[in-house]
A and B are shown apart, each in its own frame.
Chain A
Amino acid sequence: QPVLTQPPSASASLGASVTLTCTLSSGYSNSKVDWFQQRPRMGPRFLMRVGTGDIVGSKGEGIPDRFSVLGSGLNRYLTINNIQEEDEGDYHCGADHGTGINFVWVFGGGTKLTVL
């Protein structure tokens, strides 16, 4: 099953841009990854899915255009432009793999984004 690796922390200034990375383990370069945002003391919410290129499908409900994704090799990127205070929180990536009894859904460790 894939392992998803995320840096534990990131920071960006108000109004700036930041790119968060989710790295798949070797052999999973075709895997699609979901990005989730978790604001402080709240449940996660779905942002969007990314494959080996651009977004797969549609963004989650109410996700602004400031959020975008890109996939390249083993990396799946989430970029936030014009960062707002409300963007502070944890960002998680997740992916499914396998079928039948071998199905799993795995998450990365999450990246804590601080807005300066």
Chain B
Amino acid sequence: QITLKESGPTLVKPTQTLTLTCTFSGFSLSTSGVGVGWVRQPPGKALEWLAFIYWDDDERYSPSLRSRLTITKDTPKNQVVLTMTNMDPVDMATYYCVRRLNWGSIDYWGQGTLVTVSS
């Protein structure tokens, strides 16, 4: 059974850095073709892709957010970490951890974690 679960702060202040952790099970980031990433969804709005990291350490970022994002992996711990710098109230959203397989579909999603940005 494949599961992904997001963890991190529910509230951050403007200008702070957000750090989110995805802990997954049922697959390994050491397997060829496997990628894990992040997608966010502001309340009542559309989904927005943020980043992927792959089994071979390849990283991909949303062009509009590239300068603020870093994605890393800890393969033995089955974890992926996303950091987003200089948080702003417009970054308030539910952040989802996702799996992507063999450069294909996003086939599994976590339950999401709501992050509020407020002073």
Total count of chain A residues near the partner, CB < 8 A: 22
CB closest chain-B residue, reference A34? B105
Give the distance to chain B from A105, nearest Cβ to Cβ, in Å.
4
Least Cβ distance of B17 to chain A in Å? 23
Tell me whether A76 is interfacial, beta carbon within 8 Å.
no
Given A34-B106, A49-B105, decide whether A107 and B46 contact each other with a Cβ distance below 8 A: yes
Distance in angstroms from A58 CB to nearest chain B CB is: 9
Give which listed residue, B39, B96, B105, B108, contacts A57 with CB less than 8 A.
Answer: B105
Query: Is A94's CB within 8 Å of the partner chain B?
Result: yes
Q: What are 28 A-B contacts defined by CB distance under 8 Å?
A: A34-B106, A36-B47, A36-B106, A36-B109, A43-B94, A43-B109, A44-B47, A44-B96, A44-B109, A46-B105, A46-B106, A46-B107, A46-B109, A49-B105, A57-B105, A60-B107, A92-B47, A94-B106, A96-B103, A103-B60, A104-B63, A105-B62, A105-B106, A107-B46, A107-B47, A107-B48, A107-B49, A109-B46
Once A92-B46, A107-B46, A110-B46 are accepted as A-B contacts, the answer to whether A43 and B107 lie under 8 Å apart by CB is: no
Chain B residue total in the interface (Cβ 8 A): 21
Interface presence of A70 (CB below 8 A):
no
CB of B111 within 8 A of chain A? yes
With contacts A44-B96, A46-B105, A46-B109 known, what are 7 further pairs, Cβ within 8 A?
A34-B105, A43-B109, A43-B112, A44-B47, A46-B106, A56-B104, A94-B49
Q: Give every chain A residue within 8 A of B108 (Cβ-Cβ).
A: 46
| Cβ < 8 Å to A, chain B residues 27-84 | 39, 46-49, 52, 60, 62-63
Minimum distance in angstroms from A111 CB to a CB of chain B: 11
Q: Which residues in B have their C-beta under 8 angstroms from that of A43?
A: 94, 96, 109-112
A18 at the interface (CB under 8 A from B): no
Q: Does A106 contact B (CB under 8 A)?
A: yes
Bound CA–CA A96/B104 (angstroms): 8
User: In the bound complex, do residue B62 and residue A108 qualify as a contact, i.e. CB atoms below 8 Å apart?
Assistant: no
Interchain CA distance A94-B109 in the complex, whole Å: 14
Are A104 and B110 CB-contacts (below 8 A) given A44-B96, A49-B104, A57-B105?
Answer: no
Report A104 CB to chain B, min CB distance, Å. Answer: 7
